């Protein structure tokens, strides 16, 4: 089974721009979560989507948004980029059922804001 | 909210020795505790996990123990090898079956170096 895939792997943007990152979960997985990883703050939860609905949300400003499509693929968008948004953005997926809490991560998208 | 503390932040061992990483959590509702290994340039890889109804779990050279009363859990790696060198993260969540998978709250990580 293919793992979680994320595109693009690397991205360079300038302040004020917006960016869209994409995540394809493991086949059959319906839940997708997004995390931000920085050296200072570590791994922080952004939001979770299930069946095209946001089911859980972390403590990030409204500039961070996401969506999920009917095929479970997910995108996250960051508007009005700030220097502090430079980070590794990770997507994780899980399958429904007794082990719905087991999350599998993709390789991440490295975003650099100049 | 939940807070997860992880120690030590760096750990250096000789090949063949054991390595132990410890985490404590604050929310008594947490019921799921995974451990991830992250190598340079890669995403976190799940290596073992434990649920609150189990006190210990083992998978070959890796084991995890959970003490719910003390709210701490530990990762034990025996017979370490150079390829075990990576950053290890513990996490906790309070997922509910059939509901949200729960957001994972991560520790700050432990950089493990295994010297040949």
Over residues B17-41, the pLDDT tens digits come to: 999 999 999 988 888 999 999 999 9
**What pLDDT sits at residue A107?**
97
Answer whether the bond into residue A21 is a cis peptide, omega within 30°. Answer: no
- The residue of chain B nearest to residue A108, with distances taken between CA atoms, is B43
**What pLDDT sits at residue B100?**
54
**What pLDDT sits at residue A2?**
83
- Which of the residues A4, A34, A43 would you substitute to probe the B interface, choosing the one with the greatest number of B C-beta atoms within 10 Å? A43
- For residue A36, is pLDDT > 90? yes
**What pLDDT sits at residue A95?**
84
Q: Give contacts of A40 with chain B, Cβ < 8 Å.
A: none
Q: Residue-wise over B30-67: b if at least 16 C-beta within 10 A, else e?
A: bbbbbbbbbeeeebbeebbbbbbeeeeeeeeebbbbbe
Residues B56-82, mean pLDDT to the nearest whole number: 96
- pLDDT-derived band of residue B102, with 50, 70 and 90 as boundaries? low
Strand partners, A66: A76
Q: Give contacts of A98 with chain B, Cβ < 8 Å.
A: 97
**What pLDDT sits at residue A96?**
73
- For residue A101, is pLDDT > 80? no
- pLDDT-derived band of residue A98, with 50, 70 and 90 as boundaries? low
Task: Name the percent of chain A lying above pLDDT 70.
Answer: 96
Characterize the bridge pairing of strands B4-7 and A53-57. Answer: unpaired
């Amino acid at each position: 089974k293919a793992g979680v895939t994320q595109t693009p792997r690397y991205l360079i943007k300038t302040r004020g721009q917006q960016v869209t990152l994409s995540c394809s979960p493991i086949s059959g997985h319906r839940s997708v979560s997004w995390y931000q990883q920085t050296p200072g703050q570590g791994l922080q939860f952004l939001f979770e989507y299930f069946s095209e609905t946001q089911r859980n949300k972390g403590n990030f400003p409204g500039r961070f948004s996401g969506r999920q499509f009917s095929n479970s693929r997910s995108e996250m968008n960051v508007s009005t980029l700030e220097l502090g948004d430079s980070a590794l953005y990770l997507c994780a997926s899980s399958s429904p059922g007794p082990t719905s809490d087991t999350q599998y991560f993709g390789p991440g998208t490295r975003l650099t804001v100049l | 909210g939940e807070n997860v503390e992880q120690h030590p932040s760096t750990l250096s061992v000789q090949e063949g020795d054991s390595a132990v990483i410890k985490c404590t959590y604050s929310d008594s509702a947490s019921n799921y505790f995974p451990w991830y290994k992250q190598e340079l340039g890669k995403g976190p890889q799940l290596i073992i996990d434990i649920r609150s109804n189990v006190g210990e779990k083992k998978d070959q050279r890796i084991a995890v123990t959970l003490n719910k009363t003390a709210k701490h859990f530990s990762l034990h790696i025996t017979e370490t090898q150079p390829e075990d060198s990576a950053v290890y993260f513990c996490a906790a969540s309070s997922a509910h079956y059939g509901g949200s998978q729960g957001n994972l709250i991560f520790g700050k990580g432990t950089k493990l170096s295994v010297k040949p």
